[in-house]
Amino acid sequence: MMLNKLNRNEILSMGDKFRIYVLLVVVFITMTIFAPHFFNAWNLTSIMKTVSMNATVAIGFTIILIVGQLDLSVGTIITFAAVIGLGLKGAVGYGLSVPLAIVAGGLIGLINGVLVAKVKINSFIVTLGMLTALQGAIYTITGGNTIAVTDHQAFAISDWLQHQIIPMVTPRVIITLVLVIGSSVFLRKTRIGRNFFMVGGNSQTAWLAGVDSDSYTIVAFVISGVMAAIGGILFAMESAAATLNLGTNSLMYVLSATIIGGTSMAGGKGGVFRSFIAIVTLTMLYNGIVLLGLGNEVQIFISGIILASVILYEAYVEFKHEKLVGQRPELLKELEAAQ
């Protein structure tokens, strides 16, 4: 009965909103049934530990997409923060080196934000430039060497961060969950948070409503930098080492997950929590693929298929939406010209 009342667009809208939860459940049940050693506390905890870094990065990245921008530098900010945090530990201890690493991430985000919002350079160009500059800085600072800490305190903190409190929950997972839930509530339940959607959805409306788009864009980049830095430094502390390509693979991973989670690259739409669920889903999928004895190439293939399917689906939804509201003036013009 209820289904009868729902029109096609409502079903599409619901599918759009809940697809990632459906995907999570499907992957979880499939892997539980077919992948050996998938469903036990150790493995599920391992999945959540892996999720932590990229989930933290995805918070900032989602906000960046919501305001209609792009941040290609998150991967190198992860590495940069890890290098700063571990590199300075010997001199000032984690008590100061960790905050410094996070502040460094924020400053990088601030530079990105100012160049995008005030100097009006495309965010793709700005963050690509930042990525390259940071890579150079990292190699200069480290001399090409991995930064590692092998003292008793470093190992003790590493052990503590990955200590399983209850199945699936370690201190690092708790930190990640707090950040994810806090950011979700902030975005959805506060006026300032909702303004990010307005800036990305329609900047003219935002301007008419008295929302300073430039400030929100800058803040989004700062949040992105800070979150990438937190993700990087926590991972490095847990590994007791910061390799020079630590964040290299994170950009594509986070980008895929954020889009799969329903955040629009056009801006104005998305959710941090759904990005988090997408990261969990992809990590579970990759974990299960390995447990099934399949190779890395299968991982890449399947993630490509999922991403392509989601993008096609998004395009279809967008097409239906535009058709519905009659916002395809370019087609009308083409038709007029043809007549």
Partner 1 sequence: MKKTFSLLFVLVLALAFTGAVFANGGSEGSAESADSGNLEASLALDSAVAALTAADGQPLIKVSGTSRVVPARPADPEALSEDDPLHWWDMEFAGENSVKKNIPESPKDGAIGKKVIMIVHGDHPWTTACINGATKVADVYDMDFKALSPNWDLAVQNQMIDQAINEHPDLLLLIPLDAKTAPQQARKINQAGVPLIMFNTLPEAAAMDYCIAWTGPDDFGQFRKLSHLWADKLGKTGGVAYVQHAPGGSPYFARYWGPRSELAVYAPDIKVLDAQAPGFEADKTQQLVSDWLTRFGDELTGICAADDSAQALGITEALKKAGREDVVVIAAGNSKQGMDLVKEGKLFAITYQTAEGDGALAVKTAADWFNGVDLPPVRNLPQHMITADDVEDFYPPQW
Least separation in angstroms between residue 60's CB and partner 1 is 18
- Selected binder of partner 1 within 34, 42, 124, 207 (CB under 8 A): 42
CA atoms of 310 and 2, how far apart (whole Å): 27
CA-based nearest residue to 78, from 238, 272, 223, 233 = 233
Least separation in angstroms between residue 178's CB and partner 1 is 14
User: Looking at 39-47, 97-105, 126-134, 216-224, which segment touches partner 1 (CB under 8 A)?
Assistant: 39-47
Least separation in angstroms between residue 150's CB and partner 1 is 5
CA atoms of 339 and 334, how far apart (whole Å): 9
User: Looking at 43-51, 108-116, 309-317, 325-333, which segment touches partner 1 (CB under 8 A)?
Assistant: 43-51
- Selected binder of partner 1 within 30, 107, 243, 302 (CB under 8 A): 243
- Assess contact for 198 and 50: CB atoms under 8 A: no
User: Which are the contacts of 203, defined by CB distance < 8 A and separation ≥ 6?
Assistant: 68, 213
Q: Judged by CB, which is closer to partner 1: 202, or 243?
A: 243
Angle between helices 213-239 and 152-161 (to 10 degrees): 110
Cβ count within 10 A of residue 245: 12
CA of 142: how far to CAs of 199, 254, 255, in Å?
39, 26, 28
Binding mask 132-171 for partner 1 (x = CB under 8 A): -------x--x-xxxxx-x----x--x-------xxxx--
- List beta partners, residue 147: 242
CA atoms of 325 and 89, how far apart (whole Å): 57
- Which of positions 258-297 make contact with partner 1 (CB under 8 A)? 273, 277, 283, 286-287, 290-291, 293, 295-297
- Which of positions 167-226 make contact with partner 1 (CB under 8 A)? 167-169, 188-189
CA-based nearest residue to 228, from 240, 238, 220 = 220
- Assess contact for 310 and 259: CB atoms under 8 A: yes
| Tokens 């939860």 belong to residue | 21
Binding mask 66-95 for partner 1 (x = CB under 8 A): ------------------------------
| Tokens 């864009």 belong to residue | 217
Q: Judged by CB, which is closer to partner 1: 75, or 200?
A: 75
Q: Judged by CB, which is closer to partner 1: 119, or 166?
A: 166
Residue 39 touches partner 1, criterion: CB under 8 A: yes
CA atoms of 233 and 227, how far apart (whole Å): 10
- Sign, CA torsion 119/121/123/125: negative
Q: Judged by CB, which is closer to partner 1: 67, or 83?
A: 83
Cβ count within 10 A of residue 193: 17
Q: Judged by CB, which is closer to partner 1: 110, or 290?
A: 290
Q: Judged by CB, which is closer to partner 1: 208, or 252?
A: 252
User: Looking at 34-42, 217-225, 257-265, 303-311, which segment touches partner 1 (CB under 8 A)?
Assistant: 34-42
Indicate the DSSP class of residue 269: -
Residue 13 touches partner 1, criterion: CB under 8 A: no
Q: Judged by CB, which is closer to partner 1: 61, or 221?
A: 61
Q: What is the token pair recorded at 276?
A: 């988090």
Strand residues in 205-287 grouped as ranges (E): 241-242
Residue 241 touches partner 1, criterion: CB under 8 A: yes
* Contact residues for partner 1, defined by CB under 8 A: 21, 24-25, 28, 36-47, 49-50, 53-54, 139, 142, 144-148, 150, 155, 158, 166-169, 188-189, 235, 239-241, 243-246, 248-249, 273, 277, 283, 286-287, 290-291, 293, 295-297
